[in-house]
Amino acid sequence: MLTEQRILSVDEALARILAQIPVLPAEEVVLTEALGRVLAEDVYADIDVPPFHNSAMDGYAVIAADTAGASRARPVELRVVADLPAGQVPTVPVRPGEAVRIMTGAPLPEGADAIVRVEDTERGAGTVRVFAPTRPGRDVRLAGEDVRAGDLVLPTGTFVRPAEVGMLAMLGRRRVRVVRRPRVAVLTTGDELVDVDEPLTPGKIRNINLYSICAQVAWCGGEPVPLGVARDTVEELEARIREGLSADMLITSAGVSVGDYDVVKAVLDKLGHIDFWRVNMKPAKPLAFGRIGGIPMFGLPGNPASSMVAFEQFVRPALLKMQGRRALHKPTLQATAEVALDNRGGRRAFVRGYVHQHEGAWRVRPAGQEGAGIMTTMVRANCLIVIPEAVERVAPGELVTVELLDAAVAEEPVAGSAQPGAAGGDDCCT
């Protein structure tokens, strides 16, 4: 039942949400499916890495003392006793006055203690002329210098990036245990909605939110389960919600504002418990959270931009926690406001903004109109400008907190443009 009608602060709402979000169980996946997941096991090294002394460069394996005093004017000449490509085992040792032609990654022959780089040599008939001295250990990768057998290399809770995938491959892990991805059922509501490829008859609008919310879920590492549209009847809404109860989370869109809450409220009262449904923020003041059929449920606003902002502030951290992530929040920075920003009403404002670097300093301005249904501003934004509840106006030149939506931001704006978000940004839910 709906038990909380007090308007919560953003911080209190998020704290209450995260307190009710579990970390999902682990599953074993093949290495190629581990990227972007969180390790659910400690990974130890079964071998030394590298497993043997090897050459870090193409060149000649030598005894360093043999190259003392070598120069272009007075080269040292050594006898070449073998060629050693990577993947082959040395068959002859290196003795005083000798060298082995060696490729990067090939094992260091017995007797050699250094590598002379190929650019410091000139090959002759059975000999090599050395034009620069080397020293013991130069350009030699020692066995175990990276990892020793038995070392704990990747502890439980490690977020798997491309580097971790490479390390797991180096350690021979074809399969690894990771936290399971959350399955997220997404349901939009409203008699006015039609699918994106259906005709727009009078009074109808396209079902934007189903696609944008599913995209946000996938962007955060979840697996969206689109449930389509529920019409504004108790029977249909209840039936569609029940379809989503096999997922790990349920998200509905629309039907949570004061004016249109009646149908959704009746269903939620019947099927579960709603913790709260109003947050002191703009946009997205009407936002419901609770549990339905034992799983967390979010009721997002129907206006597309409000829905996306609410997702960033509340659903995204919850999804990351479900996946075992530790860093739950978007990175922030301080930027200088280029124009005045108003914030009347005593709510925390999240203004869609465009942040860029100019002459070594961060600067930010609104990305466009702030209407809750205006998607072009959301497209142009690469950040949210956060204005605290008690601040009614930010003057030009004042510092404001900026929450980055993209990992990459622009260095210089294009004069006169609409200022789209920086191309190439990919936060991968950092």
Task: Examine residue 426 and state whether it is found in any structural domain, yes or no.
Answer: no
How far is the CA of 48 from the CAs of 45, 56, 146, 163, 330, in angstroms?
Answer: 7, 17, 8, 18, 37
Strands 383-387 and 399-404 turn out to be antiparallel
Q: Residue 229 maps to which CATH number?
A: 3.40.980.10
Confidence (pLDDT) at 411: 53
Please give the order of strands across the beta sheet that includes 249-253.
Answer: 223-230, 183-189, 249-253, 295-300, 286-292, 272-278
Strands 249-253 and 332-337 turn out to be unpaired
Confidence (pLDDT) at 418: 41
- Domain co-membership, 65 together with 126: yes
Q: Which of 268, 287, 322 is the last residue of a domain?
A: 322
- Domain co-membership, 34 together with 175: yes
SS3 134: coil
Distance CA 82, CA 398 (A): 70
- Domain co-membership, 37 together with 16: no
261, with CB counted inside 10 A (0-12, 13-18, 19+), is middle
Confidence (pLDDT) at 236: 84
Q: Which of 287, 322, 357 is the last residue of a domain?
A: 322
**Number of compact structural domains in the chain:** 4
Residue type at 8 in one-letter notation: L
- Domain co-membership, 166 together with 266: no
Q: Is the Cβ–Cβ distance between 169 and 48 less than 8 Å?
A: no
213, with CB counted inside 10 A (0-12, 13-18, 19+), is buried
Task: Examine residue 188 and state whether it is found in any structural domain, yes or no.
Answer: yes
Q: Which of 130, 164, 179 is the last residue of a domain?
A: 179
Confidence (pLDDT) at 430: 44
Q: Residue 344 maps to which CATH number?
A: 2.40.340.10
- Domain co-membership, 156 together with 231: no
- Domain co-membership, 306 together with 203: yes
Distance CA 294, CA 249 (A): 9
What lies within 8 Å, CB to CB, of 121 at 6+ separation is 59, 60, 128, 129, 130, 131
* Low-confidence spans in the chain with pLDDT less than 50: 1, 4, 260-261, 412-430
Task: Examine residue 409 and state whether it is found in any structural domain, yes or no.
Answer: no
Distance CA 26, CA 418 (A): 45
| Residue for token pair 């659903």 | 315
| Residue for token pair 């006169």 | 416
What lies within 8 Å, CB to CB, of 224 at 6+ separation is 184, 186, 213, 214, 215, 217, 218
151 lies in which domain range?
26-49+145-179
Q: Could you report how far apart the first and last alpha carbons of the chain are, in Å?
A: 35
- Domain co-membership, 163 together with 211: no
How many residues does the structure list for the chain?
430
Task: Examine residue 424 and state whether it is found in any structural domain, yes or no.
Answer: no
| Residue for token pair 């009614």 | 392
- Domain co-membership, 191 together with 316: yes
Q: Is the Cβ–Cβ distance between 320 and 273 less than 8 Å?
A: no
Confidence (pLDDT) at 122: 97
Confidence (pLDDT) at 221: 95
Q: Is the Cβ–Cβ distance between 277 and 4 less than 8 Å?
A: yes
- Domain co-membership, 188 together with 306: yes
Distance CA 405, CA 426 (A): 9
